[in-house]
């Protein structure tokens, strides 16, 4: 029994805390997190993929945090606004992007305390 308990404690210690962006994206699940990117919040919305959308700062982060003073979109009464849906992953299908957006919306709602 002691070995199993120690084994479970080790497993628990290796689980990384989930880090979310203002839009509900899970930064800690991203392949470039901690390699090329410290995460949206740490970088104040100036994430590496901004070069692909030709914006200096993520428009969702800018609206949510800089303009409205929220920690995440879940605090906004207009959650899932036009801006929220505007930026889509070009490597995903429309259906995959829709699923991802619904997941992000649910995450944002769950972050409201």
- Give residue 84's pLDDT: 87
Residues 6+ apart with CB under 8 A from 48: 32, 36, 37
- Give residue 75's pLDDT: 96
**Domain ranges in the chain?**
2-110
- Give residue 20's pLDDT: 94
Decide if pLDDT at 15 tops 60: no
- Give residue 16's pLDDT: 60
Instruction: Tell me the pLDDT tens digit for each residue of 41-84.
Output: 999 999 998 888 899 999 999 999 999 999 999 999 999 899 88
Nearest Cα to 51, choosing from 77, 72, 76, 32?
A: 32
On the CB side of 21, CA atoms within 13 Å amount to 28
Q: Taking the chain, what is the end-to-end CA distance rounded to the nearest angstrom?
A: 38
* Contact call for residues 90 and 6 (beta carbons, < 8 A): no
71 to 61, 62, 78, 98, 105: CA distances (angstroms): 9, 11, 14, 23, 14
- Give residue 90's pLDDT: 85
Instruction: Tell me the pLDDT tens digit for each residue of 16-50.
Output: 688 999 999 999 999 999 999 999 999 999 999 88
Instruction: Tell me the pLDDT tens digit for each residue of 76-109.
Output: 999 989 988 888 888 899 999 999 999 999 999 9
7/109: higher pLDDT: 109
């Amino acid at each position: 029994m002691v070995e199993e308990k120690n084994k479970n404690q080790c497993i628990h210690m290796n689980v990384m805390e989930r880090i979310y962006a203002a839009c509900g994206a899970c930064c800690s699940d991203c392949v470039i997190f901690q390699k090329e990117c410290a995460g949206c919040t740490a970088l104040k919305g100036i994430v590496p993929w901004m070069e692909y959308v030709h914006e200096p700062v993520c428009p969702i982060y800018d609206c949510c945090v800089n303009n409205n003073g929220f920690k995440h979109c879940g605090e906004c009464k207009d959650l899932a606004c036009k801006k929220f849906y505007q930026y889509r992953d070009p490597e995903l299908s429309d259906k995959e992007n829709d699923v991802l957006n619904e997941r992000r919306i649910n995450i944002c709602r769950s972050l409201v305390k």
